[in-house]
């Protein structure tokens, strides 16, 4: 943890995972823009010193915002942001340049032009690299170059930086008036059992940051992440603020508890009678193939056993969680608790995303899950922020 002595703004901020991690690295958020009211409200609560604007960014005057903040052009340290990425995702039903979300990158670039920050950070899904056979990524890098930024791209595995899940994210970093050094992207700290299922090269160059031999083999496990949280039954809500089940038994748990006054957002989603029956057959590390055929949804009764390997999955306590999605619905992933007969709570999903326990999510339970699933893991953002900070400090 460090003093926040560098300034930043966060565009398409969501609930603030990127800002939370960058704050831990030493960046102070002075402004955030988010179109969804509930997401913006969560950001406000957890980043009270930042001006938060709830608006469609296409209607926001970037120069007016800069003037209102009292920031001279070229004085801001960083513009960070993750424009909506569904249109780029390798899992999207249709990946088309006609998807209007894809063009929101232009709004980000408009803010870069208005503020001319010392550095830029763009976060997105791995599918950005292969979208339109790389044409979109080429256009982004070219546009940044035309604005005076030397930029580069890497794909980072969150588990390599202590996040207990199989999540990959693309990061574009750039410096104003300078070529970006290779050490701008953080070196992995841990080895972890994750494998990419996407394009890993761009213009013939490898994009993955892989751990060196000396990196630790002790990645953060699911149990190390959530094992100190109190037990619940399916559908149990309990008190709004809960006590921990035990003393922390991992460094990760100790870190997550810093600044916490108790456990928020820890309420178990309800499960249907059918899912409760299915769950009885699933062992830790297992999935839908453990369930008797007659109990499966009709659409899956004829599926090949090699398909849908994460559906109705129960996580292994000594392994990694699958990627936390906007819905921790067992039908779509391995979201059953390893030892309790229920699916993950919002707090457990947040822990697996590396949000500290003092970070409170607002809105309905489904809105809270969406906020967590859409976020950048703060620990991953912190690692990127620390590497970028060292370069900015060297340039002073």
Nearest alpha carbon to residue 263 among 245, 246, 241: 241
Tell me whether residue 348 is in a domain.
no
pLDDT at 4: 60
188 domain residue, yes or no: yes
Q: Which two tokens stand for residue 46?
A: 């957890």
pLDDT in tens, 169-196: 999 999 999 999 989 999 999 999 999 9
Strand-pair partners of 51: 31
Reply yes or no on whether 328 is catalytic.
no
Q: Which tens digits make up the pLDDT trace of 200-225?
A: 999 999 999 999 999 999 999 999 99
List the beta bridge partners of residue 165.
Answer: 321
Work out how many domains the chain is built from and give that number: 1
Is position 137 within any domain?
A: yes
Start-end of H helices in 57-124: 62-69, 105-115
Cβ 30 vs Cβ 7: under 8 Å: yes
> For the whole prediction, is pTM greater than 0.85?
yes
Is residue 168 one of the residues assigned to a domain? yes
Residue 115's domain spans which residues? Answer: 6-216+377-390
Residue 237 maps to a domain = no
Closest to 17 measured CA to CA, from 64, 107, 82? 82
Residues of the chain with pLDDT under 70: 1-4, 84-102, 396
Tokens of 123: 């976060």
Distance CA 258, CA 358 (A): 8
The C-alpha atoms of residue 33 and residue 83 are separated, in whole angstroms, by 11
Residue 326 lies in a domain: no
If phi over 0 gives left and psi between -120 and 50 gives alpha, with beta otherwise, what is residue 391?
alpha
- 231 falls within a domain: no
* Residue 133 CB partners (closer than 8 Å, separation 6+): none
- Please pick, among 11, 18, 40, 85, the residue that the annotation labels catalytic: 85
| Residue 167 in tokens | 């999540």
The CATH number of residue 64's host domain is 3.40.50.150
Tokens of 51: 């001006």
CA atoms of 374 and 328, how far apart (whole Å): 12
Q: Which of 169, 109, 176 is nearest to 139 (CA)?
A: 109
pLDDT confidence of residue 101:
54
In a domain, 263, yes or no: no
> Three-class SS of residue 296?
coil
């Amino acid at each position: 943890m460090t003093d926040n002595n560098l300034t930043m703004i966060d565009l398409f901020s969501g609930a603030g995972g990127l800002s939370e991690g960058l704050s831990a690295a030493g960046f102070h958020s002075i402004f955030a823009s988010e179109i969804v009211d509930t997401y913006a409200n969560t950001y406000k609560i957890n980043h009270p010193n930042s001006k938060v604007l709830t608006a469609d960014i296409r209607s926001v005057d970037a120069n007016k915002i800069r003037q209102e903040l009292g920031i001279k052009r070229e004085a801001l340290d960083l513009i960070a942001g993750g424009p909506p990425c569904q249109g780029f995702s390798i899992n999207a039903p249709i990946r088309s340049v006609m998807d209007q979300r894809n063009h929101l990158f232009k709004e980000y670039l408009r803010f870069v032009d208005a503020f001319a920050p010392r550095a830029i950070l763009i976060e997105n899904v791995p599918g950005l690299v292969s979208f339109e056979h790389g044409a979109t990524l080429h256009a982004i890098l070219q546009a940044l170059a035309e604005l005076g930024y030397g930029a580069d791209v890497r794909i980072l595995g969150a588990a390599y930086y202590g996040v207990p899940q199989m999540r990959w994210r693309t990061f574009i970093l750039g410096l104003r008036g300078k070529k970006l050094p290779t050490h701008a992207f953080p070196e992995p700290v841990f080895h972890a059992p994750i494998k990419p299922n996407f394009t890993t090269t761009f213009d013939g160059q490898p994009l993955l940051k892989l751990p060196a031999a000396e990196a630790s083999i002790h990645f953060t496990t699911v149990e190390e992440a959530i094992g100190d949280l109190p037990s619940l039954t399916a559908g149990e809500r309990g008190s709004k603020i809960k006590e921990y089940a035990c003393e922390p038994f991992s460094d990760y748990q100790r870190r997550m508890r810093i600044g916490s006054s108790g456990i928020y957002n820890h309420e178990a989603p309800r499960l249907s009678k059918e899912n409760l029956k299915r769950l009885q057959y699933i062992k830790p590390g297992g999935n839908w193939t453990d369930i008797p055929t007659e109990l499966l949804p009709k659409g899956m009764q004829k599926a090949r056993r090699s398909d849908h390997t994460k559906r109705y999955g129960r996580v292994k306590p000594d392994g990694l969680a699958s990627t936390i999605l906007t819905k921790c619905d067992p039908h779509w992933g391995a979201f059953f608790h390893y030892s309790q007969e229920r699916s993950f709570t919002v707090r457990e999903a947040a822990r697996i995303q590396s949000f500290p326990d003092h970070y409170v999510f607002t809105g309905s339970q489904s809105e809270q899950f969406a906020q967590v699933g859409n976020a950048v893991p703060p620990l991953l953002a912190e690692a990127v922020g620390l590497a970028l900070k060292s370069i900015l400090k060297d340039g002073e």
